[in-house]
Structure 1
Amino acid sequence: MQLSPPGPRPRVLHVSQPVDGGVARVITDLVRAQLAAGTEVTVACPAGGELAAAAEALGCDVRTWHATRSPGPWLAQEVRSLRQVVREVDPDLVHAHSAKAGLAARLAVRGRVPTVFQPHAWSFEAAGGVTGLLALNWERLAARWASRVVCVSEAERRTGRRSGIAGRFTVIPNGVDPERFHPASVETVRAGIPLLDGVDPAAPLVVCVGRLCRQKGQDVLLDAWREVSRRVPQARLVLVGDGPDAQALRAAAPESVLFAGAVTEAVPWYQAADLVVLPSRWEGMALAPLEAMACGRPVVITDVDGARESLPPGQGPRCLVPPDRPAELAAAVAELLLDPLLRESLGHQGRRYVTTTHDIGRMAKAVAEVYRELIGTRPTRSTRPRGRNTGVEATECRESIHT
């Protein structure tokens, strides 16, 4: 799908600090679709992780952008280095993903190039106290430097509006590739996973895929697991992923909990599961439930932003629980583990819903429409100078950064 009429190919710069997990997968899917449409695509991100490797494998131009996860005294240097990337790439549009890239990119560009900001869950929901207030005030201020704010769910958009962020919003739900994420025989898949050697093949298996951190709520799931184990003694839980909470979670986990660590491919784990659980404390619209449903697996998720929009109509009463409520989470998980026919029905419903509502092609086309609208307001490359003095003018690039 072309972003503009025939002529110079549009040039898009994606900026991201996260290089693994859901944000990286969304960017990779967009890069794949945009390259296929003839767009010139560059990704600026930290070295290492799956994003740079995946983008390079697709033939994308990748620029190393040294950026830490949180703001700090090094932010000024991160913004300066990103300005340099913008000068070199001379993009027609900058697409900044998640909080840190959204902060640095908007400071670097300041509206001189059409800029899309995609929060992938609001940063002020992640932090409390003074840090949360600072993040909220920044988002309110920086809205003027975003040509468009792309939210992955209507609930995420409402949260932004309710919090006083006055940007131009577009809602584009997350999508997954139903050919990559597809149903498979549980028995066959489990037989190929070494971690499950010695586990009773008939044991109900619950899988949680996500970074091991406070956001994803694996600590709540471990609290709930005690009651699940009491009601379904043969059940096993697998936590797939790595992160800052890994050591604490391992120390708190009973023997019926297995840790897969970071994996290059989560598909077999979804396919091996009887039930996939994501007990997040906040989200925009999590990818894991969509991926699990595309694999024909039922899910239990917390009722945070994007959750209700992720589920087929009618599944909410059984599959949604409040965040930070281990007793209610345990009840929902145990009920489904004890009802295989219901799990099978929910899995079929989920697969149909994802393939018709959350297909990756729909997401890519919607993003392309936003790009087309914004790039249409920018002078064509043939009518503007190229090089160090374009995009972010040299005089502006010499400005100091006040943060």
Structure 2
Amino acid sequence: MTVLVVTNDFPPRQGGIETFVRSLCDELPDVVVYTSREAGDVAYDATLPFPVIRDRTSMLLPTARSTRRAVQLMREYDADRILFGAAAPLGLMGPALRRAGARRIVAMTHGHETWWAGVPGARQALRRIGDAADTVTTVSSWCAEQIAPALSPGAVQRMRRLTPGVDSGRFHPGCGGQQIRQGLGLEGVPVVVCVSRLIRRKGQDTLIRAWPRVLQAVPDARLLLVGGGPDRGYLEELAVRYGVADAVEFTGPVPWAEIPPYVDAADVFAMPCRTRRFGLEPEALGIVTLEASAAGKAVVVGDSGGAADTVRHGTTGYLVDPYNPAAVGARVVGLLTNRQDREALGAAGRQWVEAEWGWSRSGEVLRELLDV
């Protein structure tokens, strides 16, 4: 019962979907991955306990050539279960792989399929993907609501929720934050951490705009932005413009394996993510928020798409208006100035993640869907 995973979202490329797909591979008993080329992939693939076949291109698309290659891999590895790491567009291979002998096909959806559901042409393609799959999975209740209208009634009935898990053994209080603080010269000061790619949707600019208000109440507070991305220069200029450059620290890209200590370095975790481009670019879930909760951190999260599923408002942290820097700053200040409150929220968050967001639960759902 070998599972062929067909995906563009796979390490060493960094991102939440990449982490999701990679971690699910560990939950399957026999797996082979067909994915795109990426810088550093040879060294990375050599560390894995299962085979990874890289396409010659940096973007795997459902072309006739790549579909033939997927069929060849099915036969070579005797794979009769298919997992599409992201339904659109690779799920369009589904009918051909079914004809080649696929017994079960699961197509995972994340955030970008929500705009497919609303765009003519793409909407029809998503419907074909749903009809070709045994199950279309969604990462959040919000994503399910957005995608369902584009699917046929039968595909909607077969939809299931499949969420990322959190390794609470890696993300836990005391998992290395003190060393990070020492290395960055942040000992003894209040620290707010945001871990994410530096792109507009994640809301790092909102944190910078809020920081003058934070400094008025907590003069020694520091903002630690963890990750790389195209907005680095813009955010650095914004910090200068708002007069907070000395209070904002950029780490640059950090490998996924080294992320837990950076989360643990926080007094508060904040990611005021927002929906952009007229609703076509939402936050599908935001697993890093749950990782922060697992590390015992109070969280401040933007109310965008499925992000609300990652926080129990008032119990593990707070949802905020991501377009309102003043409101974001007020929540951050409230937590930085009330240690008892933030520690209670962090403790509740860890308890919630341990109870409901473990990888074993995600793996159990996926194995059921694939019938392995």
TM-score band, normalised by shorter chain: 0.7 to 0.9
Structure-2 residue corresponding to 1:356: 355
Report sequence identity in percent.
31
1:151 partner letter: T
Give the direction of change, closer, same or farther, for the CA distance of 1:135–1:339 in structure 2 (3 Å limit). farther
1:257 partner letter: V
Aligned partners of 1:43 and 1:32: how far apart in 2?
Answer: 12
Contact kept, 8 Å, 2:193 with 2:224, in 1: the verdict is yes
Aligned partners of 2:344 and 2:56: how far apart in 1?
Answer: 47
Alignment of 1:54-203 (within 5 A): 56-66=46-56, 75=61, 77=63, 80-90=65-75, 91-98=79-86, 102-107=88-93, 109-110=95-96, 112=98, 113=102, 114-125=104-115, 132-161=119-148, 163-166=149-152, 167=155, 168-184=158-174, 188-192=178-182, 194=183, 196-197=184-185, 199=186, 201-203=187-189
Q: 1:105-146 CA deviation, whole Å, 9 max, x = no partner? A: 423644613321112213444999xxx555444323432222
Aligned partners of 1:352 and 1:218: how far apart in 2?
Answer: 27
How far 1:357 moved relative to its partner?
A: 0.5
2:51 partner letter: D
**Is 2:229 aligned against 1:239?**
no
Give the direction of change, closer, same or farther, for the CA distance of 1:245–1:127 in structure 2 (3 Å limit). farther
Structure-2 residue corresponding to 1:365: 364
Equivalent pairs counted in the alignment come to 344
Structure-2 residue corresponding to 1:31: 25
Aligned partners of 1:332 and 1:83: how far apart in 2?
Answer: 53
Q: Which moved more, 1:217-226 or 1:132-141?
A: 132-141
Give the direction of change, closer, same or farther, for the CA distance of 1:323–1:269 in structure 2 (3 Å limit). same
How far 1:304 moved relative to its partner?
A: 2.5
Q: 1:323-362 CA deviation, whole Å, 9 max, x = no partner? A: 3332322221221112111111111001100000001111
How far 1:53 moved relative to its partner?
A: 5.7
How far 1:173 moved relative to its partner?
A: 2.5
SS at 1:42 equivalent:
strand
1:149 partner letter: V
Aligned partners of 1:50 and 1:210: how far apart in 2?
Answer: 21
How far 1:225 moved relative to its partner?
A: 2.5
Contact kept, 8 Å, 2:273 with 2:283, in 1: the verdict is yes
Aligned partners of 1:216 and 1:127: how far apart in 2?
Answer: 22
Structure-1 residue corresponding to 2:212: 226
Give the direction of change, closer, same or farther, for the CA distance of 1:138–1:247 in structure 2 (3 Å limit). farther
How far 1:237 moved relative to its partner?
A: 0.8
Give the direction of change, closer, same or farther, for the CA distance of 1:279–1:87 in structure 2 (3 Å limit). same
Give the direction of change, closer, same or farther, for the CA distance of 1:169–1:52 in structure 2 (3 Å limit). farther
Contact kept, 8 Å, 1:312 with 1:353, in 2: the verdict is no
Alignment of 1:269-280 (within 5 A): 269-280=262-273
Contact kept, 8 Å, 1:111 with 1:146, in 2: the verdict is no
**Is 2:199 aligned against 1:213?**
yes
Contact kept, 8 Å, 1:20 with 1:50, in 2: the verdict is no
Give the TM-score normalised by structure 1.
0.77
Give the TM-score normalised by structure 2.
0.83
Contact kept, 8 Å, 2:92 with 2:125, in 1: the verdict is no
Aligned partners of 1:135 and 1:273: how far apart in 2?
Answer: 41
Give the direction of change, closer, same or farther, for the CA distance of 1:229–1:137 in structure 2 (3 Å limit). farther
Give the direction of change, closer, same or farther, for the CA distance of 1:115–1:225 in structure 2 (3 Å limit). farther
1:169 partner letter: M
Q: 1:251-292 CA deviation, whole Å, 9 max, x = no partner? A: 222221111111121101111100111222222221101111
Contact kept, 8 Å, 1:65 with 1:82, in 2: the verdict is no
Give the direction of change, closer, same or farther, for the CA distance of 1:61–1:277 in structure 2 (3 Å limit). same
Aligned partners of 1:44 and 1:293: how far apart in 2?
Answer: 33
Aligned partners of 1:123 and 1:68: how far apart in 2?
Answer: 20
**Is 2:248 aligned against 1:257?**
yes
Tell me how large the CA RMSD over aligned residues is.
2.8
SS at 1:160 equivalent:
helix
How far 1:226 moved relative to its partner?
A: 3.2
Give the direction of change, closer, same or farther, for the CA distance of 1:187–1:94 in structure 2 (3 Å limit). closer
SS at 2:329 equivalent:
helix
Aligned partners of 2:306 and 2:250: how far apart in 1?
Answer: 27
Q: Which moved more, 1:17-26 or 1:44-53?
A: 44-53
Give the direction of change, closer, same or farther, for the CA distance of 1:187–1:104 in structure 2 (3 Å limit). closer
Structure 2 stretches lacking a partner, 5+ long: 240-244, 275-281
Aligned partners of 1:125 and 1:295: how far apart in 2?
Answer: 33
SS at 1:57 equivalent:
coil
Structure 1 stretches lacking a partner, 5+ long: 1-9, 376-403
How far 1:160 moved relative to its partner?
A: 1.4
Give the direction of change, closer, same or farther, for the CA distance of 1:93–1:111 in structure 2 (3 Å limit). same
Aligned partners of 2:42 and 2:159: how far apart in 1?
Answer: 28
